[in-house]
Structure formats: C-alpha cells, structure tokens
Amino acid sequence: MSQRVSPSTRADPACKEGAASGAAPVRALACVVLAAGKGTRMRSALPKVLHPLAGRPMLAHVLANAGALAPERVVLVAAPELEGAAEGLEDAGVAFESVVQAKPLGTAHAVAETRPLLEGFEGDVLVLYADTPLVRGETMARLVQARRETGGAAAAVLGFRPEDPAAYGRLLLGPDGTLERIVEHAEADEATRKVTLCNAGMMAVDGRRLFPLLDAIGNDNAKGEYYLTDLPALVAAQGGVTAVTEAPADEVMGINDRAELARAERIVQERLRHAAMTGGATLTDPATVWLSMDTRIGRDVTIGPNVAIGPGVTIEDGVEIRPFSHLEGVRVRKRAVIGPHARLRPGSDVGEGARVGNFVEIKSATVERGAKINHLSYVGDAGVGAGANIGAGTITCNYDGYAKSRTEIGEGAFIGSNTALVAPVSVGPGAVVGAGSVITEDVEADAIAVARGEQRARKGAAARRRARRKPAPADD
C-alpha cells in the first residue's frame, strides 16, 4: 500500500477548528509511525489504531500531530489489514507514504521495514507509535531537539512517570543522566520494575546510524520480538549516548485496551472543550459536552449540558445549542437556536436565526433563514424556505420503502400541526396547509390546502344519545 493524502483546506476563518497544534517546524526530519502491531488487548475486529478518538482514528491523530512538525517525510508502517483504510485518514491533513509489515515481529523490525524509503536519509528519524495518539507536536519537537542538543547523541528517548507503570518499559539512566538501556516489563526483575521512569515509546534517532543499529538488534527475549527499545543499550555498548527528555503522563499514555481508549477519549475531549472555550464559546457544563476533532465553533456560541457533536459540524457565531441535542454533519448558521432535545443529522444546513426545537429531527434538510420547526417533527430530504413555520408534529414522509423523495416548502409557508407531507411534494411560497392534512399533491403559492376528513356536527345528537341509554350504576 502506498498512499498520498493531500493536506485538507482550513478555509473558514470565521470558525476555529477545535484541535490546537502549534509546534514550530523541525528541519531534516522523517517521522515513522508504527501501526502494525496486533492490538490483541482491544479484542476487536477493527484494527486497534483505527479505533476513533473524538471521531477520528487514533492513527490519524498521530499523523496529524507529526504533520504539525512539517517533516520532510512521513512513513506509516501498516499491518496488511490496514490496506485500504487509508481513505479514512485523509482528515489528518498530512501527506504520507506507507510500507507494510507483513508480520508483527516487533517494533525494531517494524522500523527496519522503512529501509527502502529511508536508507540514506541523513536527518533525524522520529519513531512514533500509533497507539500513543495524544502526544503534542511541541513534545515531539522537544525530543528531536534533545538529541540534537546532547553532543553527539545517536538517539533520544521520551520518558514519563505514569501513576501506574503497568507494562511500560523502564528507563535506566547512568550517573550523567543519559540513558544506559531500556528494560521491557516482560524482561524486568523486581528491582527494575520499581523504577518509575518509563518509556513513552517515542524515539528520535540520527538517520545515519539508524539502520546499522537496527541490524544489530536480535530477538532473544521473553516475547521473541525485535525490540526497538534495545537500541539505547547498543548505542552505549558502542560508546555512544542516548538522551532522555520527559513528557507529562496524560500526553503519552499508550492505548492497549478499551479502558485506556476511554481515558484517552476523556483527555481529547478536555482539550477540545478547552479550545472551544478559549475560542469564545460558553459551555455551561463542559464535562457533558462531546465534540469531534473537526468541530468548528464560532464566538459567542452557547452550548448547554449534555450535547453530543459528531463529525462534520460547523457552528457559527451566536448560535445557542440547548441541552440534550445531538448534531452531526450539519452547518448551523449565525444566531440559530437548536433544541433542547433536537437531532440534526448529516447533510443539513440550518439558516441564520432559524429554530429547530424540542424533539425535532432533521436529515438532509436545508432550513432557510428564520424558519421555525419548533416541536415534535421529522423533516428529512427537504428544503424549508426562509421564515416558513412548520407546525408541531409535521412529518415529511420521505421514504416509500424503496426510494427517498424530497419535500420543498416555500418561503413564508405555514404548515399546520400534525401534517404529513408525502414526498415528492411541494408547498409553494406563502401557502397555508391546514392542521392534520395528508398532503400528496403540490400546493400552489399562496393557496390554502386542507386534506383531511371533513368535520360534520349533528345538532343535539349527543343529548339524544344520552337519553336513549340508561345511566351506568355508580361505582362504590
């Protein structure tokens, strides 16, 4: 698999993307992203690195963060199962090349698979793990700097001190503070397991020395794998130096199972909420608002409690999203009011100052400026003209069991409550539809259409009925 993905455009200056990455570019750098592990602890049919965080595969997070360094090359080491998955990685916005590691024989073996692309590269090679998606570009840049600034260092490793060192590799430092070796958890004795400084999994290596060092790594260990983490001991044996720099634990946590996935999701959400608030949005109860990596939120937006925002949502300035609303694939234009309890589904566009109220679902619907759909409606595959008023309980019957059809409602039209609009059908501008109608034919502009059983009333009939019947005995 070999894939190039063009950078995505961030064309809308009115809205800020939630994710923040502001690392300065680092010159002469190649990033290698390892994504070919088995990921067995996820117990999933989906490859681990494609599990999403804030609606974006964790692998795409790593690619995007690497891209923030503007490296010369980005090389993905993929498992055969990842072939074809690259389309889903486009929104990482990074051009990358791929190699396949046919069998997951270990992290050193995985890096060695990049030889056809990177042999002869003389800059820094920064190895990143696709299951460590929260690392910021700044931290990656700091690691590369650490290697360059530690005189003659062949490599630099990123360390951290997790609350629970669990199964992480341990970093053993020499008296001068440089790294003597990394001991994998599986290989560590009791005393080594007490070391609190752990391996985050990122390594910057002098590109000129990388492949000769990898060639010297064997697989004589508990797992029978080629460990990249054997590299610092080899460097030391050759009289060289490996630098160490530390990162905050919540940035470098590895995701190996679903519990760690959930912790990482929480961290990503906290970052996105923070970015939204910094950008000028009010989140009444931030911990209950769920955002996506590509959510764009303008200024003076208010988002109430318990709102879930899926992929592809743009919220313009001054919009109010009331509690318990669910949005995906929708643009909500200036000062529109959504919810409470509204569901906005993909392909929708809500116009300036429009209202989509409680228990209203819209799908592939364009709701023009100032239109109101305030209560208990389903509006799908539809256009609703500016200023139109859609009464409570209006349903567009867009599906006949075979095909979807459209409903067009003109500007300023008034649809009475509990109307069924059987698509394809249109209601012209300024027309009025009587409540309870089942509209199957187009309604002309400015017409009044009523399509329901006629009301009949027989004078005195209720009284006559009562007289015919004996009163029922009273309950005791």
Under the binding rule (CB under 6 A), the answer on residue 137 touching ligand UD1 is no
Residue nearest to ligand UD1 (CB): 169
Shortest CB 108 distance to ligand UD1, Å: 8
Beta bridge partners of 155: 205, 242
Nearer to ligand UD1, 35 or 382 (CB): 35
Residue that is written with structure tokens 């190649």 in the block: 30
Does 206 bind Ca ion (CB under 5 A)? Our answer is no
CA 263 – CA 255 distance, rounded (Å): 9
- Cβ distance to ligand UD1 smaller for residue 60 or 77: 77
Selected binder of Ca ion within 91, 124, 131, 230 (CB under 5 A): 131
What is the footprint of ligand UD1 within residues 226-285 (CB under 6 A)?
A: 227-229, 254, 256
- Binding flag, residue 188, ligand UD1 (CB under 6 A): no
Q: Between residues 167 and 438, which has the closer beta carbon with respect to Ca ion? A: 167
Stretch that binds ligand UD1, among 4-12, 125-133, 337-345, 439-447 (CB under 6 A): 125-133
165 binds Ca ion (CB under 5 A): no
Site for ligand UD1 in 163-182 (CB under 6 A): 168-169, 182
HEC-encoded secondary structure of 360-415: CEEEEEEECCCCEEEECCEEEEEEECCCCEECCCCEEECECCCCECCEEECCCCEE
| Contact assessment for residue 197 and residue 171, using Cβ atoms and an 8 Å cutoff | yes
Restricting to residues 21-60, name those near ligand UD1 by CB under 6 A: 34-37, 49
CA angle, 90 as apex, 89 and 94 as ends, to 5°?
A: 95
Shortest reach from residue 83's CB to ligand UD1, in Å? 14
Q: What is the largest CA-CA distance in the chain?
A: 112
Give me the torsion for CA of 308, 338, 348, 289, rounded to 10°.
-10
How many residues touch ligand UD1 under the rule CB under 6 A: the total is 30
In the complex with ligand UD1, which residue's Cβ is closer, 226 or 324? 226
Q: In what order do the strands lie in the sheet with 355-358?
A: 282-283, 302-303, 320-321, 337-338, 355-358, 372-375, 389-390, 414-415, 432-433, 448-449
The helix-helix angle for 58-67 and 137-149 (nearest 10°) equals 50
Q: How far is 83 from 182, CA to CA, in rounded Å?
A: 32
Tell me how far, at minimum, the Cβ of 58 lies from Ca ion, in Å: 11
- Tokens at 432, concatenated: 């009025």
- As measured in angstroms, the least distance from the Cβ of 75 to ligand UD1 is 12
77 interface partner picked from Ca ion, ligand UD1, none, CB below 5 to 8 A per type? ligand UD1
Angstrom distance (rounded) from CA 179 to CA 51: 33
| Bridge partners (DSSP) listed for residue 125 | 30, 205
Distance CA 73, CA 28 (A): 9
The CB-of-184 to Ca ion minimum distance in angstroms stands at 11
CB closer to ligand UD1, 77 vs 344: 77
Is residue 121 within the footprint of ligand UD1 (CB under 6 A)? no
Contact at 8 Å (CB) between 94 and 76?
no
Which residue out of 185, 274, 341, 375 is catalytically annotated?
375
Closer to ligand UD1 by CB, 49 or 443: give it: 49
Whole-number Å distance between alpha carbons of 357 and 44? 38
* Smallest distance from ligand UD1 to CB 135, Å: 11
Concerning whether 326 is annotated as a catalytic residue, the answer is no
Q: How far is the CB of 130 from Ca ion (least distance, A)?
A: 9
Which residues inside 394-413 make contact with ligand UD1, applying CB under 6 A?
A: none
Task: Between 224 and 401, name the residue whose CB sits nearer to ligand UD1.
Answer: 224
Q: Which residues, including other chains, have CB under 8 Å from residue 94's CB and lie 6 or more apart?
A: 5, 7, 63, 64, 66, 67, 74
254 in contact with Ca ion (CB under 5 A): yes
Residue 200 near residue 182 (C-beta atoms within 8 A)? no
The residues that are catalytic are 375
Rule CB under 6 A: which residues touch ligand UD1?
34-37, 49, 77, 101, 104-107, 109-110, 129-132, 168-169, 182, 184, 198-201, 227-229, 254, 256
Interface residues toward Ca ion, by CB under 5 A:
131, 254, 256
